[in-house]
């Protein structure tokens, strides 16, 4: 029997911290555990052409779709709004003489969420990335009323951005499941990477997972759909996020 649909919005402290990578790892873990996983990237940039799909498709959406086991949702449903320029969606759309249709994207997200046991919704950049002159990613999270998972870089400089992001989400009444620290460089853990998790756990009242293993094979190039089969496992993190999601008292 299908459970009540659950949605997790994946946001970040910045761009380039690994939202898509972490979301793909989680989608893979939950799919292997037998869950029906949906994915959606409602606002994408750096769009590409895909045979049989009208308009541009987000490369991140292609990766998530692959990681979730290619669910029945069309690529247009998984990537409902996408533009070419590698900029904030509001600016990328303006360059093309278009505008971001927030209402249409929200309808697309809700349609995907209704069809799956759990759905990962990946944002773009951080909370204040603009979609229109008056709407930012934070506003979309509030309208969807989804639980939120924050992805942050593990290295030096993450403390301020991470605490500010979680504090703002909590002040807006959002349910924060926790923070995932992701390594964006290889080599031995730096002193900051060794100490940041403990400091954040002391400052925040949400779980802090990681740092996740650096994906060495992807160094210097973007993640591609074919890479998802080689991603490292994160069973413990995936299980604990689900446990927290299932707990009605957690995350507020």
- Which are the catalytic amino acids? 41
Q: What are phi and psi of 6, to 5 degrees?
A: -125, 140
The alpha carbon dihedral of 19, 234, 143, 2 has a sign of positive
CA 174/CA 195 separation, integer angstroms: 27
By DSSP bridging, strand 147-153 and strand 176-182 are parallel
User: Token pair of 74, please?
Assistant: 């069309």
- Residue 234 has a CB neighbour count (10 Å cut-off) of 20
CB–CB of 83/118 below 8 Å? no
- Residue 223 has a CB neighbour count (10 Å cut-off) of 19
CB–CB of 67/35 below 8 Å? no
Q: What are phi and psi of 181, to 5 degrees?
A: -90, 125
């Amino acid at each position: 029997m299908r459970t009540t649909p659950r949605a997790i919005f994946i946001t970040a402290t910045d761009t380039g911290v690994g939202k898509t990578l972490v979301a793909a790892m989680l989608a893979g873990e939950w799919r292997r555990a037998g869950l029906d996983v949906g994915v959606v990237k409602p606002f994408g940039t750096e769009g590409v052409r895909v045979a049989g799909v009208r308009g541009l498709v987000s490369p991140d959406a292609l990766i998530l779709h692959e990681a979730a086991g290619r669910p029945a949702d069309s690529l247009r449903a998984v990537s409902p709004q996408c533009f070419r320029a590698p900029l904030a969606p509001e600016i990328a759309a303006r360059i093309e003489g278009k505008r971001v249709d927030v209402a249409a994207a929200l309808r697309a997200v809700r349609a995907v969420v209704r069809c799956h046991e759990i759905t990962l919704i990946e944002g773009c950049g951080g909370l204040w990335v603009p979609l229109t002159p008056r709407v930012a990613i934070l506003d979309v999270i509030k309208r969807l009323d989804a639980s939120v998972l924050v992805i942050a870089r593990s290295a030096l400089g993450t403390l301020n951005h991470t605490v500010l992001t979680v504090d703002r989400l909590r002040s807006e009444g959002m349910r924060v499941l926790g923070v995932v620290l992701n390594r964006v460089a290889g080599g031995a853990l730096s002193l900051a990477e060794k100490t940041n998790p403990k400091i954040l756990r002391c400052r925040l009242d949400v779980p802090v997972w990681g740092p996740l293993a650096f994906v060495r094979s992807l160094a210097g190039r973007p993640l591609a759909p074919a890479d998802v089969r080689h991603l490292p496992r994160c069973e413990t993190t995936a299980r604990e996020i689900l446990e927290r999601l299932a707990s009605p008292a957690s995350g507020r």
